[in-house]
């Protein structure tokens, strides 16, 4: 801990003097409780200032400032385990747990991750990035404590969107049957479960979490244990009484003692209720209502826009404009709108990623054909399968990293039945600042193993539109994977043109070396080809491969180089090698792609360079394979 004179000097030099004295939660717990609202104001101001310069997730963090302070104030973290769901709301948690000075490096190469990571801090008890994992992980920690004979509190903080996923309810159902020492905090920031709360509900929550009510409740259970019918009656009476004033009956039925809802910005209610609930036995469920973007008017008014932001002007809230080039996401959104106008059978489905996947225009124009199923990827795919069974043509817009969560449904419900479902797979490949949890590194590997699935990867924006139409018109499961951000800048043509299934495009004819590029790596391959006098093929299709062209290149070249923004293991290059081995070809192959490790957050350009997938890296790898003489070794 800093010496007093150092602490005073810092306080005089910073606009956040109280926060400057909080290096770790232990410092926070030494504050008088009546100063916590002042700390919340400073923490909120620091967060806005920090994210205005770095970009990142903002609105969710602003909504949990008071809750974060209250949790660290009441509980003995990191001895008590605090598990965040998804983690985009965890910036205030990072600021309070020894990382305030490193916030300027948020999501940058070598800097802090945008999500909790176990290897970053002992206060990050579970690594997250995907939704709805917190209750399962926290329950596992609680059961581990019981098995080891240790005593600590475990708290899972989950949002109302994440709570809608099946995995969260699976965990609730399991926990309710075990009587674990587990607290689940529902951060309800969308008013989707309850109406706004006020003083009366806060007062009821304090009463229901207090010692007197708990003693009566637990004492009644003990006294009535030998009179099952009467015990059941009293239990139902208690649940219905609470259900009259709050929406907790469902969680009570699952075995949790439900408290709330309470105002998540009322520090006194939060600390008092959490302190009471800390002493209560068994599984507990606290319902907290917060406002996303709270304390910053632009974020309050536009919480979706300010969920994840570029750097912005602190005074006006004006976001830094991105480059004007058309993104692949917009290409998809425009195609979907046009395709829906042309074919009334088209239905658009997304698991809670309307804006991120580019469905905003489609959703506004065709509300009856737009399905946002919430954070429920498995349901999204099987819903699409059911629609396809009845003659509709569903298009599922999903990030590559989230499609992983529905792998069984992709195999069993769609591909096994050869159903006409189009998968528009966004954020395929490296995604930059969001890091390893959001990278789409594996879809070619896990997708190409599935029978009946056609897989395509466009080299540019116009080809993306044409391949989307090709996938839509294919009478079976088809997947188009495209990257985050912009492409090489090729103009997009309107219309419904398709490309021949399984046919690659010869972009350049050279000697000795053939570069077989999949998707985004066509552009750097063309740069490298000039220096190497290499042949370049835009492969377009991972499944089916253009076997005829590959075998011809194997006969006329001495080195085949496959390039993909996907894991090398099991990816498109592996498919090429399998084809050549089956045909008895002995041509040398070099497979370039994402190496067998998880890549940390950085810019997409930095990540590509790290993998050797930029033009200099590709050229160096090929020259190394050729040997110093310039011919294959």
The residues carrying an active-site annotation are 292, 377, 405
Under 8 Å between Cβ of 347 and 380: no
CA distance 377 to 358: 17
Lookup: tokens for 22: 């909080």
Place of tokens 């109280």: 18
615-626 and 604-611 helices, crossing angle to 10°: 10
Looking from the CA of 17 toward its CB, the CA atoms found within 13 Å total 8
Closest CA to 1 of 29, 31, 22, 18: 22
Which string of DSSP letters, residue by residue, matches 329-340? HHHHHHHHHHHH
Bridge-based pairing state of the strands 56-57 and 308-309: antiparallel
Instruction: Indicate the SS3 state at residue 372.
Output: strand
134-148 and 166-176 helices, crossing angle to 10°: 30
Under 8 Å between Cβ of 116 and 87: yes
Lookup: tokens for 103: 């916030």
Bridge-based pairing state of the strands 454-456 and 541-543: antiparallel
Q: What are phi and psi of 622, to 5 degrees?
A: -70, -45
Under 8 Å between Cβ of 160 and 186: yes
What's the DSSP call for residue 320? P
Q: What are phi and psi of 118, to 5 degrees?
A: -60, -35
Closest CA to 439 of 599, 614, 611: 599
If one counts every other C-beta atom within 10 angstroms of the C-beta of residue 320, the result is: 11
Closest CA to 296 of 610, 597, 45, 10: 45
Lookup: tokens for 565: 């923004």
Lookup: tokens for 583: 């045909």
Bridge-based pairing state of the strands 478-481 and 454-456: parallel
Burial class (CB in 10 A: 0-12, 13-18, 19+), 455: buried
């Amino acid at each position: 801990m800093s010496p007093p004179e150092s602490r005073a000097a810092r306080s005089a030099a910073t606009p956040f003097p109280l926060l400057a004295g909080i290096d770790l939660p232990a410092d926070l717990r030494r504050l008088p409780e009546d100063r916590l609202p002042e700390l919340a104001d400073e923490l909120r101001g620091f967060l806005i200032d920090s994210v205005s310069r770095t970009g990142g997730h903002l609105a969710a963090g602003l909504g949990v400032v008071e809750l974060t302070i209250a949790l660290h104030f009441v509980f003995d973290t990191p001895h008590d385990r605090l598990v965040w769901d998804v983690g985009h709301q965890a910036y205030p948690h990072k600021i309070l747990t020894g990382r305030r000075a490193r916030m300027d490096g948020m999501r940058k190469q070598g800097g802090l991750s945008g999500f909790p990571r176990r290897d970053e801090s002992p206060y990050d008890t579970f690594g997250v990035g995907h939704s709805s994992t917190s209750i399962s992980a926290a329950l596992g920690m609680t059961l581990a404590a019981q098995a080891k004979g240790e005593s600590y509190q475990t708290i899972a903080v989950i949002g109302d969107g994440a709570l809608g996923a099946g995995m969260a309810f699976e965990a609730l159902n399991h926990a309710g049957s075990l009587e674990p020492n587990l607290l689940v905090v529902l951060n309800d920031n969308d008013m989707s479960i309850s109406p706004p709360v006020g003083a009366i509900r806060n007062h009821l929550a304090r009463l229901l979490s207090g010692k007197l009510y708990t003693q009566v409740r637990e004492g009644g259970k003990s006294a009535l244990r030998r009179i099952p019918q009467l015990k059941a009656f009293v239990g139902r009476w208690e649940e219905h009484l609470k259900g009259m004033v709050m929406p907790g009956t469902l969680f009570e039925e699952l075995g949790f003692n439900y408290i709330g809802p309470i105002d998540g910005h009322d520090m006194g209610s939060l600390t008092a209720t959490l302190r009471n609930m800390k002493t209560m036995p068994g599984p507990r469920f606290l319902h907290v209502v917060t406002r996303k973007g709270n304390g910053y008017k632009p974020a309050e008014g536009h919480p979706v826009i300010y969920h994840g932001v570029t750097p912005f002007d602190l005074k006006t809230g004006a976001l830094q404009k991105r480059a004007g080039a058309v993104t692949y996401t917009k290409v998809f959104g425009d195609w979907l709108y046009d395709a829906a106008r042309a074919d009334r059978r088209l239905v658009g489905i997304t698991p809670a990623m309307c804006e991120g996947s580019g469905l905003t225009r489609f959703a506004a124009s065709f509300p009856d054909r737009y399905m946002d199923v919430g954070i429920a990827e498995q349901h999204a795919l099987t819903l699409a399968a059911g629609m396809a069974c009845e003659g509709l043509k569903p298009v599922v817009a999903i990030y590559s990293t989230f499609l992983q969560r529905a792998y069984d449904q992709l195999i069993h419900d769609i591909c096994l039945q050869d159903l006409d479902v189009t998968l528009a797979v966004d954020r395929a490949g490296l995604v930059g600042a969001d890091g390893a949890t959001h990278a789409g590194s594996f879809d070619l590997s896990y997708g190409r193993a599935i029978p009946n699935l056609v897989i395509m990867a466009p080299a540019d924006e116009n080809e993306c539109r044409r391949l989307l139409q090709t996938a839509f018109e294919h009478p079976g499961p088809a997947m188009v994977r495209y990257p985050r951000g912009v492409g090489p800048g090729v103009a997009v043509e309107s219309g419904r043109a398709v490309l021949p299934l399984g046919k690659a495009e010869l972009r350049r004819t050279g000697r000795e070396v053939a570069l077989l590029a999949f998707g985004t790596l066509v552009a750097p391959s063309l740069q490298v080809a000039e220096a190497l006098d290499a042949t370049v093929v835009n492969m377009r299709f991972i499944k089916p491969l253009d076997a005829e062209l590959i075998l011809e290149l194997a006969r006329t070249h001495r080195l085949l180089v496959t390039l993909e923004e996907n894991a090398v293991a099991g990816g498109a290059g592996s498919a090429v090698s399998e084809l050549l081995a089956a045909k008895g070809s002995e041509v040398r192959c070099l497979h370039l792609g994402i190496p067998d490790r998880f890549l940390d957050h950085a810019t997409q350009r930095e990540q590509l360079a790290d993998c050797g997938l930029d033009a200099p890296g590709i050229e160096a790898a090929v020259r190394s394979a050729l040997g110093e003489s310039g011919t294959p070794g």
